């Protein structure tokens, strides 16, 4: 454990947990590189790239517009704001450990505050204007879809999985993973921020978790009690650090898939807001993702009204 966790001695000679070690960051970077290279070679070996080239749109085009809204303007603003704050957090968290000195603490907690605000906005927007549970719920059909995809990944002889609805299984799993890791980083990050100086409060080095210890005795023989960050504080640092190195892997994987030629149309949909009819028919099941309420009209009005389209709910449950 000593290789992955950092310990320091307190004034009383006790080993106190300080957080994760630098080795864990290097491990995360190494695993991220191995994943991207390994997936690329595996993908080429399985011939998926050729399958993508010959993929044909199947199904009737009757009633399906040439452009289908996938992400509203509000969703895209959230995504890119969260992406920017997440990248700033990762850079300010790990680059200083490599020896590059700059005023990273202030930048780090401000980026964290931006991340919290974007997530609060996203939750409100998802509940009020989108189908909130379409990304969060997991039913029997979701499990079967995941098993089908897993079998197809392991063996080229396995049947091709059914086309998904608006949010494929792997997208939902990644989303839920990001939720767990981000919440762990945010909760511990807020508690850690209480220990530094901000415009909102004075720093308290020992807040919120402290241990009491007898550091000596007064002239009257009474014990002098001193406070020192306790084991719970160290555990908080560890959880925050593990969340950080986990995000190195998850963000790297996300960027890798976003720039892959066969997935780039997903990225363009997060920029433009829509996908074309060919990609819709080739990759999605119209019975699971109805686009009758999500089309981009030929002369759609601009502004917030045009972006107020409610995302089509899942109908595959």
Among 2-11, 239-248, 276-285, where is mean pLDDT lowest? 2-11
* pLDDT at residue 216, as a whole number: 56
The Cα 245–Cα 242 span in angstroms is: 5
pLDDT classification of 194: cutoffs 50, 70, 90: confident
- How far out from the chain centre does Cα 284 lie? 23
pLDDT classification of 149: cutoffs 50, 70, 90: confident
Is residue 174 helix, strand or coil?
helix
Percentage of residues of the chain with pLDDT beyond 70: 73
Q: Which own/partner pairs from 146-150 qualify as long-range (CB within 8 Å, at least 24 positions apart)?
A: 146/173
pLDDT tens digits, one per residue of 263-298: 999 999 999 999 999 999 888 988 888 886 444 443
- How far out from the chain centre does Cα 87 lie? 11
* Winning range, highest mean pLDDT, from 120-124, 148-152, 289-293, 310-314: 120-124
Using the predicted structure, report yes or no on whether residue 245 has a pLDDT greater than 70. yes
Q: Which own/partner pairs from 184-187 qualify as long-range (CB within 8 Å, at least 24 positions apart)?
A: 184/239, 184/240, 184/242, 184/243, 185/89, 185/240, 185/243, 185/244, 185/247, 186/112, 186/115, 186/116, 186/119
Mean pLDDT of the region 9-21: 70
| Residue with more model confidence, 61 or 259 | 259
Do the beta carbons of residue 133 and residue 127 sit within 8 Å? no
* Alpha helices, DSSP H, located in 15-103: 22-46, 48-54, 73-94
Q: What is the pTM of this model?
A: 0.76
**What does pLDDT average to over the chain?**
78
Helices (H) and strands (E) in the chain, counts: 10, 6
Residues 6+ apart with CB under 8 A from 8: 15, 16, 18
**Cα dist from 3 to 19, 32, 34, 94, 161, whole Å:** 11, 19, 21, 17, 42
């Amino acid at each position: 454990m000593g290789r992955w966790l950092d310990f320091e001695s307190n004034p009383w000679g006790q080993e106190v947990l300080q957080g994760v070690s630098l080795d864990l960051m290097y491990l995360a970077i190494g695993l991220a590189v191995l994943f991207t290279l390994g997936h690329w070679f595996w993908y080429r070996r399985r011939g998926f790239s050729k399958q993508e080239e010959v993929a044909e749109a199947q199904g009737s085009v009757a009633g399906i517009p040439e452009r289908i809204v996938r992400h509203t303007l509000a969703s895209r603003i959230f995504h890119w704001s969260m992406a920017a704050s997440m990248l700033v957090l990762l850079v300010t968290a790990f680059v200083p450990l490599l020896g590059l000195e700059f005023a990273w603490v202030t930048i780090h907690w401000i980026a964290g505050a931006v991340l919290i605000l974007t997530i609060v906005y996203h939750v409100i927007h998802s509940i009020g204007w989108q189908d909130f549970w379409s990304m969060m719920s997991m039913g029997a059909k979701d499990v079967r879809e995941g098993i089908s995809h897993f079998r197809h990944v392991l063996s080229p002889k396995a049947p091709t999985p059914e086309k998904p609805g608006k949010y494929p299984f792997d997208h939902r799993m990644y989303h839920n993973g990001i939720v767990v890791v981000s919440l762990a980083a945010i909760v511990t990050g807020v508690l850690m921020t209480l220990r530094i100086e901000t415009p909102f409060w004075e720093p308290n080095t020992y807040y919120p978790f402290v241990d009491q210890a007898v550091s000596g005795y007064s002239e009257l023989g009474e014990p002098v009690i001193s406070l020192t960050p306790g084991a719970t504080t160290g555990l908080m640092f560890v959880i925050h650090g593990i969340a950080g190195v986990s995000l190195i892997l998850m963000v790297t994987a996300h960027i890798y898939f976003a720039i892959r030629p066969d997935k780039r149309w997903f990225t363009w949909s997060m920029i433009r807001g829509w996908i074309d009819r060919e990609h819709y028919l080739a990759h999605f099941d119209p019975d699971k993702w109805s686009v009758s309420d999500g089309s981009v009209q030929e002369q759609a009005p601009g502004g917030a009204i045009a972006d107020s389209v409610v995302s089509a709910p899942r109908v595959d449950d």
